[in-house]
Amino acid sequence: MKKIALITGITGQDGAYLTELLLSKGYEVHGIKRRSSLLNTDRIDHLYQDPHDTNKNLFLHYGDLSDSTNLIRIIQQVQPDEIYNLGAMSHVKVSFDTPEYTANADGIGTLRILEAVRLLGLTKKTRIYQASTSELYGLVQAVPQSETTPFYPRSPYAVAKLYAYWITVNYREAYGIYACNGILFNHESPLRGETFVTRKITRATAKIAMGLQDKLYLGNLDAERDWGHARDYVEAMYLILQQEVAEDFVIATGITTKVREFVRLSFAEVGITIEFKGSGAEERGYIVSCASPDYQLEIGKEVIAVDPAYFRPTEVELLIGDPTKSNTKLGWKPKYDLAALVEEMVAADLELFRRERLLKDSGYYIKNQFE
Ligand code: NDP
Ligand code: GDR
């Protein structure tokens, strides 16, 4: 019998990689997508067959985590063996601007899924994965952070996810639902949203190298993150739902890197060496050498600047995960290291902007979204 999975947030970074993984394992996959004025299925279009094909294994349903009746109807119709709740307003900085919406989608949205499973009498059938986050650790209490490290959330996003974490634990304990938290540390990929720091840096690296952008403005360069590859992390999500007993797991690489170092690694991929001078809001990054004959860049040019607009009212300075439990109990180990991640992201963005460069060189004007 084919297993049936339902994924909220299927149009996001993780949703796309998880869909690919589950389809490759023979699952029938259902996803909830939001209605938007423009098409928003770019990341999964390559997996989505002709909607009129009767043999297809991927189905999309319109829905929203703020809409209980819609969630109940979809879950009733799909009767999933596994639900992966990945849908969320996932941008930490934006959550300071939209705290109430974030609480509704990320916090209460999780309750709506759990409650739908309970109301529909699916507590013995349906397993639930909750996309918890290293942001729960927030203000550093101890490092490396493990399943037993106390939480101290530092943003409306993290506070909403804290509720989601505990309501998941509570429904497991109260109703015996197989419901688990994956406490995932940052994971990135070429499919990462453009406003998260890694993708912002790899896109800018490609554009600056190709003469399509002058400068990259960033916020806190001292923040340290434990970065992995999304492709590895969705494997962990799947494994978490295949255990005998429902438990929560930290998924991380155990290595942390500063934002500033990620910038250096990214530019090094195109043969450019960056040197930083100054500190705080006055810090700047300059090109000190350019080894690639493909890119004609001026030595000494200032290409990185700090814009305090990107600082957060309360910041999470240091994240470094302890993946011992997932390594031993799940047998999970990441295949990518940071160097391989950066290499893949920069290569993908170079490919993307080569096309833009070609259009520009052929005389087609491309309007920048900020113009
Ligand atoms: P993305 O931002 O790429 O994707 C989020 C998804 O949620 C998108 O499909 C989005 O739809 C959907 N969504 C947003 N709001 C709603 C809503 N109200 N109702 C239904 N769907 C909604 O995030 P990631 O793929 O990176 O992350 C997946 C999950 O994992 C998120 O919950 C995130 O908070 C969490 N997480 C992520 C980590 C990371 O490093 N990537 C680390 C730890 C946790 P649309 O495409 O229409 O915007
Ligand atoms: P994060 O990711 O907040 O960790 O949340 P993000 O990439 O946004 O920030 C990482 C760190 O970089 C610093 N930073 C900047 N961040 C952004 N976005 N833009 C900038 O210009 C910039 N300059 C410096 C930030 O201050 C921060 O310290 C991600 C999301 O995927 C969450 O959904 C998830 O839960 C966590 O990872 C784990």
Every domain of the chain and the residues it spans: 4-184, 197-224+258-316+337-361
Q: What is the pLDDT of residues 1-10, one digit of tens each?
A: 899 999 999 9
Compare 161 and 211 and report the one with higher pLDDT. 161
CB-ligand 2 contact for 187 (6 Å cutoff): no
Among residues of the chain, what percentage have pLDDT more than 70? 97
Q: Please provide the average confidence, as pLDDT, over all residues in the chain.
A: 96
Contact in structure between 184 and 9 (CB atoms under 8 Å): no
Task: Give the ipTM of the model, two decimals please.
Answer: 0.99
pLDDT bin (cut points 50, 70, 90) of residue 359 is: confident
Q: Ligand 1 centre and the CA of 358: distance in Å?
A: 33
Residue 52 has pLDDT above 80, yes or no: no
**Domain spanning 4-184: CATH 3.10.100.10:** no
Residue 367 confidence (pLDDT) = 64
Mean pLDDT of 202-217: 96
Q: Which of 260, 248, 219 is CA-nearest to residue 325?
A: 248
Residue 51 confidence (pLDDT) = 67
CB-ligand 1 contact for 12 (6 Å cutoff): yes
Residue 65 has pLDDT above 80, yes or no: yes
Mean pLDDT of 237-242: 98
Report the catalytic residues: 133, 135, 157
130: β partners: 85, 181
Q: For residue 136, which ligand has an atom nearest its CA?
A: 2
Q: What is the pLDDT of residues 222-236, one digit of tens each?
A: 999 999 999 999 999
CB-ligand 2 contact for 295 (6 Å cutoff): no
Mean pLDDT of 273-291: 97
Shared fold status for 4-184 and 197-224+258-316+337-361? no
Residue 363 confidence (pLDDT) = 86
Neighbour order of strands in the sheet with 82-85: 58-62, 28-33, 4-8, 82-85, 127-133, 179-184, 249-251
Residue 326 has pLDDT above 70, yes or no: yes
pLDDT bin (cut points 50, 70, 90) of residue 123 is: very high
Q: For residue 217, which ligand has an atom nearest its CA?
A: 2
Residue 54 has pLDDT above 80, yes or no: no
pLDDT bin (cut points 50, 70, 90) of residue 365 is: low
pLDDT bin (cut points 50, 70, 90) of residue 368 is: low
CB-ligand 1 contact for 11 (6 Å cutoff): yes
Residue 320 has pLDDT above 80, yes or no: yes
Residue 48 has pLDDT above 90, yes or no: no
DSSP H or E segment with residue 20: helix 13-24
Contact in structure between 273 and 299 (CB atoms under 8 Å): no
Under CATH, what is the fold of the domain 197-224+258-316+337-361? UDP-galactose 4-epimerase; domain 1 (3.90.25)
Q: Which of 287, 267, 310, 264 is CA-nearest to residue 94?
A: 310
Residue 360 confidence (pLDDT) = 82
Mean pLDDT of 120-133: 98
CB-ligand 2 contact for 310 (6 Å cutoff): yes
Mean pLDDT of 152-160: 98
Residue 43 confidence (pLDDT) = 97
Q: Ligand 2 centre and the CA of 135: distance in Å?
A: 10
**Which residue, by CA, sits nearest to atom 44 of ligand 1?**
133
Q: Go through the chain and tell me how many residues it has.
A: 371
Among 47-61, 97-111, 272-286, 322-336, where is mean pLDDT lowest?
A: 47-61
Q: Which of 83, 181, 66, 82 is CA-nearest to residue 135?
A: 181
Question: Which amino acid, 272?
Answer: I
Mean pLDDT of 168-177: 98
